[in-house]
């Protein structure tokens, strides 16, 4: 009898549980009823959120500034710009690591050390856009070259105020010029370093080979002179030919002597050229030795360029004015240094003042509106769910108590 009562109570509990689950299911009618009951609260929350978003924009919104650098005389081509764009983040990170950041620009340089910043905020403008290239491709293929010609670079930066944003974009543009000049000067110096290492060994090898060959030529000339003394009758001069030609031995001795002397003179000239080149590379190595401490002392390419020019002028003062070989290599160094300096000063120049504006009003307003709306929606749904759950639990407990009492009474 007791077992039957317990079994009957369990069945009643399961039935009540199913009723509870069915009662907690949300129907379309419940949703409509909830919207009718709560729309005023949701609208009020949205309005408050909108006001908070707009107010936060006025109070905390950031400014964005823009500077346009004209690429005068197309001094910076697409390949050079891509190389600089990839290397500038690493250079900024190195500046931060070495603690050589300009005063008050720590945050900016940490931002500049990210590659994504340069991709998004340093934007080149080309002579012809991609759409123009497609439209004009059938007219003239020369437009393909114009499509890679950089007319200007647009630099964007942000700040908490209008003045801060303008200062940030000016500092970013300055770092682009000084950093770009530094990277190109380092590339020039690296190429000279590689040349002094590899070319010297190759020149010495060529000098040794030329000296050996000239020794054989001199022996050959000495033998021909002895033949000339022994056979003076065979001394009529003819057309000068290559002494190494297979038919040269049948020419007159005088002709052969003239030909071999020409070869000896050519070997002497080549040997002197090699010696002059070695002398030039020795001067380059001396220049690099004096430039190394300066390169390590600054990351400002324009300052570095001026220092390298001073070193070049000092070396020029130590050589004779009639030493054309030494003058030539110094002229080459001077021309490269001046070219880099011109490219990143007058070559990249802002023709207008930086502009600044306070952006993000729509984004801030929409964020405040949606945030407050969904927060209120979650609160109302939570309250409704809590009330419904408590009510159903109370009903369920009451039903269960009545059922158990009735079963016990039976």
Mapped onto helix, strand or coil, the DSSP state of residue 356 is: strand
Output the pTM of the full model. 0.69
Burial category of 410 from C-beta neighbours within 10 Å (exposed 0-12, middle 13-18, buried 19 and up): exposed
Token pair for residue 323?
């030493």
| CA 398 to each of CA 78, 149, 355: distance values in angstroms, whole numbers, following the listed order | 81, 84, 73
| CA 314 to each of CA 46, 109, 216, 289: distance values in angstroms, whole numbers, following the listed order | 73, 35, 43, 13
Total Cβ atoms within 10 A of residue 383: 11
Q: Are strands 122-126 and 150-159 parallel, antiparallel or unpaired?
A: antiparallel
Token pair for residue 269?
């000239």
Nearest partner of 175 among 295, 64, 69, 88, judged by Cα: 88
Show contacts of 267-273: CB within 8 Å, 24+ apart. Answer: 267/210, 267/213, 267/214, 267/217, 268/214, 270/206, 270/210, 271/207, 271/210, 271/211, 271/214
Which pLDDT score, from 0 to 100, does residue 238 have? 46
Which pLDDT score, from 0 to 100, does residue 311 have? 95
Which pLDDT score, from 0 to 100, does residue 369 have? 75
Per-residue pLDDT of the chain (410 residues; tens, 9 = 90+): 444 444 444 445 445 444 444 445 566 676 666 667 777 777 777 787 777 766 665 655 567 888 889 888 767 888 889 999 999 999 999 999 998 888 888 989 999 999 999 999 999 988 776 665 555 555 555 556 666 788 889 999 887 778 888 898 999 999 999 999 999 999 999 999 998 888 888 999 999 999 999 999 999 989 888 888 887 765 554 444 454 555 555 577 888 888 889 999 999 999 999 999 999 999 999 999 999 999 999 999 999 999 999 999 999 999 988 889 899 999 999 999 999 999 998 888 887 777 766 666 677 777 777 887 788 778 877 777 777 677 667 677 766 666 766 666 66
Residues 20-41: b if buried by 16+ CB within 10 A, e if exposed: eeeeeeeeeeeeeeeeeebeee
Alpha-carbon span 200 to 377, nearest angstrom: 79
Which pLDDT score, from 0 to 100, does residue 375 have? 83
Burial category of 115 from C-beta neighbours within 10 Å (exposed 0-12, middle 13-18, buried 19 and up): middle
How many residues make up the chain in this entry?
410
pLDDT single digits (tens) 242-265 = 545 555 555 778 888 888 899 999
Alpha-carbon span 126 to 5, nearest angstrom: 90
Alpha-carbon span 368 to 366, nearest angstrom: 5
Half-sphere exposure of 77 (CA within 13 A, CB side): 4
């Amino acid at each position: 009898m007791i077992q039957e009562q317990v079994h009957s109570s369990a069945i009643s509990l399961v039935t009540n549980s199913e009723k509870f689950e069915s009662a907690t299911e949300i129907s379309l009618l419940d949703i409509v009823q909830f919207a009718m009951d709560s729309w005023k609260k949701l609208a009020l929350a949205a309005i408050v959120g909108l006001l908070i978003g707009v107010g936060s924009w006025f109070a905390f919104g950031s400014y964005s500034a823009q500077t346009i650098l004209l690429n005068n005389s197309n001094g910076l081509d697409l390949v050079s710009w891509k190389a600089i764009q990839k290397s500038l983040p690493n250079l900024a990170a190195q500046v931060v690591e070495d603690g050589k950041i300009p005063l008050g620009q720590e945050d900016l340089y940490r931002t500049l050390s990210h590659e994504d910043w340069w991709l998004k905020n340093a934007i080149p403008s080309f002579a012809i856009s991609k759409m123009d290239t497609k439209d004009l491709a059938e007219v003239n293929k020369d437009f393909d070259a114009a499509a890679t010609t950089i007319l200007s670079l647009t630099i964007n930066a942000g700040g908490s105020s209008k003045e801060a944003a303008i200062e940030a974009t000016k500092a970013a543009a300055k770092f682009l010029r000084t950093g770009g000049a530094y990277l190109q000067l380092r590339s020039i110096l690296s190429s000279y370093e590689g040349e002094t290492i590899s070319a010297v060994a190759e020149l010495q090898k060529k000098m040794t080979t030329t000296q050996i060959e000239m020794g054989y030529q001199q022996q050959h000339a000495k033998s021909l002179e002895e033949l000339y003394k022994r056979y003076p009758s065979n001394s009529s001069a003819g057309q000068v030919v290559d002494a190494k030609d297979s038919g040269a031995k049948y020419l007159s001795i005088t002709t052969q002597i003239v030909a071999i002397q020409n070869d000896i003179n050519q070997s002497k000239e080549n040997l002197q050229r090699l010696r002059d080149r070695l002398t030039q590379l020795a001067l380059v190595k001396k220049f690099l030795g004096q430039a190394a401490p300066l390169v390590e002392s600054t990351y400002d390419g324009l300052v570095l360029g001026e220092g390298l020019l001073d070193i070049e002028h000092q070396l020029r003062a130590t050589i004779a004015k009639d030493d054309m070989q030494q003058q030539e290599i110094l002229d080459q160094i001077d021309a490269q240094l001046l070219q880099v300096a011109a490219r990143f000063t007058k070559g990249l120049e802002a023709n207008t003042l930086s502009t600044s504006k306070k952006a993000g009003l729509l984004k801030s307003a929409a964020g405040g509106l949606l945030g407050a709306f969904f927060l209120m929606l979650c609160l109302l749904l939570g309250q409704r769910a809590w009330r419904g759950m408590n009510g159903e639990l109370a009903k369920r407990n009451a039903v269960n108590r009545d059922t158990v009492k009735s079963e016990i009474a039976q």
